[in-house]
Structure 1
């Protein structure tokens, strides 16, 4: 049984059921039941040479048929059976519902205009990306229970939104879809679910279908980051900071493609946040070594990005760039200004939460400024707050390295 295949087919099966009229929550339940059935009855090896079992020749069609039957069974048992009888009286044959990729169509559905952007992103990560509620909660820096309620409300909102657009139309907003794809890529790039390649595939399809410079900007950004993936971790799984990466391991063909896409987007003179981020990534990718990075121009692009977003995370990253361009004291001043502006802010109704990576950035700036004791303390604190094991281990090593120097 190829569980990776099942994972890749799930969004398309879910999209087909929703297109046929199933409400979102009921469709998702039916698809999950079909997946359980597949795990039970499909042979472990569905290749043509599989011993002891017949090959499943149309896995997607099989899942659609079983999921639709599960949905019909549940619907007929429901108190609203009569209202839905006209909808489900004739069962259409399994298979794709339109020429547009089912998964991409489902992204647009999850970006339904009735949803707020955060709810649309959360629903898509759950329904299309297959992430757990816990993983999505971590991406949003909110408690898991809060995210579970948000996803449930989003499903109800989509179900109550009324008729979907005509065949071939897209129900959602491109900007929201881009935010969804960006979060999916980031989860796949640094989290415990590998969705980066899928995010790139879908963004390529979106770029082919939608003439928008920000779509191209996002695709360029993904490619430029993905090109460095092989150099991001050492053989023991530990993180390798950008400045220490072996640039010979970067994929130069992917970098060239990303830069070409970015240049074409920038030429349209409709700057957006993804193009600005891609420009920063391109400057890193274009530098022969860390020492030759054009930090002055990177600071300028961070200024553009900050004007577009006002994001405290952008200001945090800008403080590092300012340090590299103008020295650690300038970087610490930029960080202090950020701290003043964000003091007492709250990221959720449940209360204020620390800005991700703030202590790690502060530790780096203090180390560059020669204040090793403060840097070691901040590295240790950052390790305590790190969202994953690899980052926690990296920050712990940094703290240990500085403490050893202090004792020596």
Structure 2
């Protein structure tokens, strides 16, 4: 019997984590640009596919394309809703125009087809400079995904010429990969259900995973903090009994640690690995050296933990709340202290603005919720007490969108 090479096992685990983290940050890998990364995924495709399946993701792997397909958001997702970006509208209009065009095709023909699609959808077309800039952003998104390739010229010429001398190649066969949270695919990337033949079955297949463990791991990857109060009964049961084993294994495959508390859980990236390039999510927990807003988040966190009240209206046990007027008053007291003399003058003198900046940091991390009544109440999650702003970072991925 051959001896077990523990060093090799550890090294392979680290490489697997590097690959899974890469795929969370970059959902499209295209040949000619990402060859080394595609090769790394291709060599470990079975292991990567298994890990990602446990977090609700699908994976398409071929020699010229790797595509991660993320699930639809959790129905109890509490992240701050984002309005659809206008460049996203043109992204899909250009896709609609692509479907009926030959390859290769002139950029002007693609633009005309997209404008026709806009007209059919009742979307006004102005031809303004602002609209052209949005269209250019959408074209860049298509190019980044390998859906269009410049054979001659550059798509940036759309800003300067009504009939740009630009020739494009199109990848019609990759259009089915655009919807990030679409129905299941076969390993070769073909839909299991043909939307043209069975549109109702295709839409029904958009349902979220049935396995509660998969749903919870999906949440732990996609959210900074997962609170037990937001889970269904079967999800809460899985978190209580199986998170420590199965959930920890998924976290390890992503190179993350598991934080487990009575109020919920989180996947956390080790502090020594937190960099701008490696960070998986929308942001780390505010640090003490991160500027006025970050420092104010920590100081206000301490105030809410000490002086906030917990009532029957709280989102969950041990959440502490404070009326918005009291939040602003607390910030004014903090801003007046000599220790905060270095805070930005604009924010020290406008604590309403400072409060909104703080909300913009903590709310997307699921550490703050605001309920609207006669007066807004700010509720701080008990999980906020876990981080001191110096040692750890919340690790999460961005909420999946159709444009990814």
Compare relative contact order (CA 8 Å, sep 6+) and give the higher one, 1 or 2.
Answer: 2
Provide TM-score, normalisation by structure 2. 0.25
Q: Which has the higher helix share?
A: 1
Instruction: Indicate the structure with greater strand content.
Output: 2
